[in-house]
Amino acid sequence: MRYMLLIYGDPKLEPAYGTPEFEAMMGGFFALNEQMKADKVLVSGEGLQGVETATSVKLRGGKVETMDGPFAETREHLGGYYVVDVPDLDSALRYAAMVPSVAWGTVEVRPLMNYNPTEQ
């Protein structure tokens, strides 16, 4: 079963870039990547650029509308994701708890839809 681990965090609570705390956090992400590769569960994962680079798209009245930034106003921003292929939700939750930023943010775990049941 594939799950997406959506990594949210409040930029005000994250360690500042260039600090030892930031380097430790990044080291934690690199270690988690290697662990998931070794466990053969990592399908994909990336960090996202800041919300100031986002563009939201809507279709209203047959007309496409775009706006800068994310649509939702929240303190926590989506900062990255992992897709893991694991046996069950409990396994996905164990990996979510290993995401370094879970200490000050949130990792949302959601199963992916499988529209191609013959493919894994």
pLDDT, tens only, 47-104: 999 888 888 888 999 999 998 876 566 678 899 999 999 999 999 999 999 999 999 9
pLDDT, tens only, 13-22: 999 999 999 9
pLDDT, tens only, 14-63: 999 999 999 999 999 999 999 999 999 999 999 999 888 888 888 999 99
CATH number for the domain harbouring residue 19? 3.30.70.1060
pLDDT, position 118: 76
pLDDT, position 70: 64
Q: pLDDT confidence of 117, banded at 50, 70, 90? A: confident
**Residue 117 resides in a domain:** no
18-25, Cβ contacts within 8 angstroms, sequence gap of 24 or more: 24/100, 25/100, 25/101
**Residue 120 resides in a domain:** no
Provide the 3-class DSSP secondary structure of residue 115: coil
Domain count, the chain: 1
Span 110-116, average pLDDT: 92
| 65: containing domain | 2-111
**Residue 98 resides in a domain:** yes
pLDDT, position 56: 86
CA dist 107 and 36 (Å) reads 16
